[in-house]
Amino acid sequence: MTDATPFATDPVADLVALLDLERIEVNLFRGQSPDDGVKRVFGGQVIAQALVAAYRTVENRVCHSLHAYFIRPGDPTVPILYEVDRARDGKSFTTRRVTAVQHGEQIFNLAASFQVPEEGFTHQSPMPAVRMPAELKSEDELRAMAKDHIPKELQKQFARPRPIELKPVDPRQMISPAKTEPKKQMWMKVRGPVDPNNFALQQCLLAYASDMGILDTATKPHGVNWFTGGVQMASLDHSMWFHEPFDISNWLLYAMDSPSASGARGFNRGEVFTEAGKLVASVTQEGLMRPREAKFKN
């Protein structure tokens, strides 16, 4: 799948509307994509919409994990059909499988597990020591500073408004990036208020945001990225675990690393923390990372 898609008016309202799927049968839902001219559907959109479809068949339970595979590129010019298989409704856990279909073929599938909230043992890994959001430039500011170096054919996509605000802790050069260790941290939040009592929506928005930037972590030791080329990239699979409640209207730290790249694939991990240091979610993703000739150079 591709980088995040643009939104024309109020980015947050547009994203929430994008996740409000149309129910066309008991277990069948229809989703749309923004009309923005992008050739492929953003992977985070499909993850989030599939989780919404699963949630529409579950009551009084909270998603604690999801596991997804990207099978084919999504076509943003036609609707996506999401079919939910009600695999199991147990006393404590509920399992759902969601298949996304376009042109009569699967483009994506997801398995999600939901749990009745309960108390138990608790521990977590510590949040890394990083600069706080108030000390950092936003990605919008960084992009504005780099706009004169961006090829004209990419400037519209480069400057598009996004519903998720990002603040990289250690910004990377967009053109001819240096080779660095495979670690990355960025703060993120939705650009407007979201109902803090609608935790299902909060999770779906974080699922959307979790696909932003994680695959790029594996490219850092190799001095390439999706923007300048030198690599063909696409998400292959994506998993998430939700640990604690959060409010995505507030800053969350997305701390990522890539322990391995091999076989033209890059493997990446992520942890999501509140500003207070609470670990609220974990993410893993493997993606295609095939060497190609760079498109743009200084």
Dihedrals phi, psi of 43, to nearest 5 degrees: -60, -40
Q: 246: burial class by Cβ within 10 Å (0-12, 13-18, 19+)?
A: buried
* Dist. CA 42–CA 5, nearest whole Å: 6
Residue 203 annotated to the active site: no
The residue length of the chain stands at: 298
Chain centre distance of CA 43 = 7
Residue 235 annotated to the active site: yes
* Dist. CA 47–CA 65, nearest whole Å: 12
| Candidates 3, 211, 216, 257; catalytic one | 211
Structure tokens at 81: 């059909």
The answer to whether residues 202 and 46 touch, using CB atoms and an 8 Å cutoff, is no
Chain centre distance of CA 128 = 21
| Candidates 235, 239, 258, 282; catalytic one | 235
Residue 216 annotated to the active site: no
| Candidates 49, 185, 239, 285; catalytic one | 285
Active site residue ranges: 211, 235, 285
